Amino acid sequence: MDPKPKRKKGYQSPTGMHDILPPEQRYFQKIYGTCENIANFYGFQKIETPILEEAELFSKGIGLSTDIVEKQMYVFRTKGGDWLALRPEGTAPVVRAFLEHGMQNLPQPVKLWYFGPFFRYEHPQAGRFRQFHQFGFEVFGEQSAVIDAQIVQIFYNILKDLRLKKLIVEVNSIGDSQCRPYYKKLLVSYLKYRLDSLCSNCKRRVRENPLRTFDCKEEKCQRIKAQAPQIIDHLCEECHNHFREFLEFLDELDLPYSLNPYLVRGLDYYTKTVFEILEEGGPSKPALVGGGRFDNLCKVLGREVIPACGGAAGIERIIEAMRAKDKKYLKYPLPKIFLAQLGNLAKRKSIKLFEDFRQNKIPVAESFGRDSLKTQLTTADRIGAQITLILGQKEVLEGTIIIRDMKTGRQETIKLEKVVKEMKKRLKKIKPGTNSRINPNDTNIY
């Protein structure tokens, strides 16, 4: 007889996937609002694609030999026999939507942005999850290098608006179908004589996708990479001119950037410009933003060549950076007024009064489920309310309400019908932010 299985203590979220609790939601809301403001200013429109896409969209668009397709995609077969994948990145789905809905027939350029969850099966670690979130900006129908620079500027502005400092912009050009094949031959020739010194993954990459050897973090591979030929020395005239113009635009924008000749990004659809934005701190710091130009992706997915450029940012990584900079970065904007009530009659009147405050856009906290005045005053003090309105049965019958100053304890009674107007007047005298006591990291709010 099989031993009885151990009973679980309780259900938990799947490995590498996490709940976004109320304190962290504040960060998501802040990032979303910042993205939305930037998107509106630069003329981008929001797009949402399904979480599930045909698996071939990614194997064909991203590349069969990429880590995402080989190891990280969640793929399954439906009851109808279709192979679907949880989207591991955002660009290929946006390109699919762009083509499917005939956006190439709209006035160009078409500017789109997105914000949502993505999925990759990989080893969970700090800032890296199996379900993670990204926002991205994509521009279609424009081949000028000014768009590349503007995309970098957009992401840089967002990070700056989120109070992140000491940002590094790394840039490179990886050429196109005209010059990259020749460079790959040079690179393979260089690496073949050093195969014994490469890690097992890089040995495989030399055969399948030699540019990916530049992504390796192994120390022995880093040493070999440092002596490898650089692609910027082998660009065709068109790619060379495009990259030169791109750098000139960055100079004009006064964006601090550095040339990283071994930056290639991990997806096959990139051409010409590639970039990453990260914080100072050495190679151990993961990139917050990555992107570049993907001029051939529309053609790969079945249509004509449509020039395009874009990028994406990891939201969890940005939140981690925000928290590291300032533990008190975001506080809950708690109401400055608390409404306390005593007895059923007062409770019924308080519910109506609470709605009056809402209609007048006056934030008010309450604890209608509590009957003890002491408990309600303790709650008011805990959230930092500066005024507590007290409504008991006696006050309801007399048409009055008590105003208690939580700092001095002083109380006064006014007509109930005048309380909304009175609170509007008093709120103007209270300094903003004086009762934002609870930090988003404070788990005691649950």
Exposed (0-12), middle (13-18) or buried (19+): which is 290, by Cβ within 10 Å?
A: buried
Residue linked to tokens 């880093």? 222
Q: 31 and 312 in contact (C-beta within 8 Å)?
A: no
The percentage of the chain sitting over the pLDDT mark of 90, rounded to a whole number, equals 61
Q: Which residue has the higher pLDDT, 6 or 335?
A: 335
DSSP 8-state code for residue 61: H
The mean per-residue pLDDT over the stretch 216-238 comes to 88
Evaluate if residue 272 carries a pLDDT over 70.
yes
Exposed (0-12), middle (13-18) or buried (19+): which is 75, by Cβ within 10 Å?
A: middle
Summarised one tens digit per residue, pLDDT across range 378-401 is 999 998 899 999 999 999 999 999
Q: Which phi-psi region, left, alpha or beta, contains residue 132 (left: φ > 0; alpha: ψ -120 to 50)?
A: beta
Find which of 41-50, 290-299, 435-444 is predicted with most confidence, using mean pLDDT: 41-50
Nearest by Cα to 170 from 242, 93, 264, 38: 264
d(CA 381, CA 375): 10
Evaluate if residue 1 carries a pLDDT over 80.
no
- Give 430's pLDDT tier (boundaries 50, 70, 90): confident
- Residues 6 or more apart whose Cβ sits within 8 Å of residue 217: 283
Evaluate if residue 119 carries a pLDDT over 70.
yes
pLDDT for res 122? 80
pTM: 0.85
Evaluate if residue 284 carries a pLDDT over 90.
no
The mean per-residue pLDDT over the stretch 163-185 comes to 91
d(CA 172, CA 230): 10
pLDDT for res 369? 87
Beta bridge partners of 291: 275, 311
Q: 334 and 440 in contact (C-beta within 8 Å)?
A: no
Backbone angles phi, psi at 96, to 5 degrees: -60, -45
pLDDT for res 440? 38
Beta bridge partners of 77: 83
Evaluate if residue 248 carries a pLDDT over 50.
yes
Find which of 267-271, 333-337, 388-392 is predicted with most confidence, using mean pLDDT: 388-392
pLDDT for res 220? 84
Residue linked to tokens 């109506």? 352
Evaluate if residue 438 carries a pLDDT over 50.
no
Q: Pick the range with the lowest mean pLDDT from 111-120, 248-257, 266-275, 428-437.
A: 428-437
The rounded mean pLDDT for the chain is 88
Evaluate if residue 137 carries a pLDDT over 90.
yes
- Residues 6 or more apart whose Cβ sits within 8 Å of residue 373: 340, 342, 390
- Give 439's pLDDT tier (boundaries 50, 70, 90): very low
The mean per-residue pLDDT over the stretch 18-31 comes to 91
Exposed (0-12), middle (13-18) or buried (19+): which is 389, by Cβ within 10 Å?
A: buried
- Give 334's pLDDT tier (boundaries 50, 70, 90): confident
Q: Pick the range with the lowest mean pLDDT from 46-55, 156-165, 203-212, 375-384.
A: 203-212
- Give 4's pLDDT tier (boundaries 50, 70, 90): low
Q: Pick the range with the lowest mean pLDDT from 26-35, 145-154, 300-309.
A: 300-309
H or E element: which one contains 323? Answer: helix 315-325
How many CB atoms are located within 10 Å of the residue 351 CB? 13
In Å, how far are 29, 268, 353, 362, 401 from 342, measured between CA atoms?
36, 67, 14, 22, 12
- Give 67's pLDDT tier (boundaries 50, 70, 90): confident
Nearest by Cα to 390 from 375, 363, 432: 375
How many CB atoms are located within 10 Å of the residue 421 CB? 11
d(CA 193, CA 262): 19
Which SS3 state, helix, strand or coil, does residue 422 take?
helix
Residue linked to tokens 């949502």? 116
Evaluate if residue 198 carries a pLDDT over 90.
no
Look up residue 16 and give its amino acid: G
Q: Which residue has the higher pLDDT, 42 or 299?
A: 42
Q: Kindly list the structural domains of the chain, giving each domain's residue range(s) and its CATH number in brackets, ordered by start.
A: 22-179+235-325 (3.30.930.10), 337-445 (3.40.50.800)
Exposed (0-12), middle (13-18) or buried (19+): which is 28, by Cβ within 10 Å?
A: middle
Quickly list DSSP for 144-170.
-HHHHHHHHHHHHHHHHHTT--SEEEE
Evaluate if residue 433 carries a pLDDT over 60.
no
Please give the distance of CA 178 from its chain centroid, rounded to a whole number: 35
- Residues 6 or more apart whose Cβ sits within 8 Å of residue 408: none
Evaluate if residue 89 carries a pLDDT over 60.
yes
- Give 5's pLDDT tier (boundaries 50, 70, 90): low
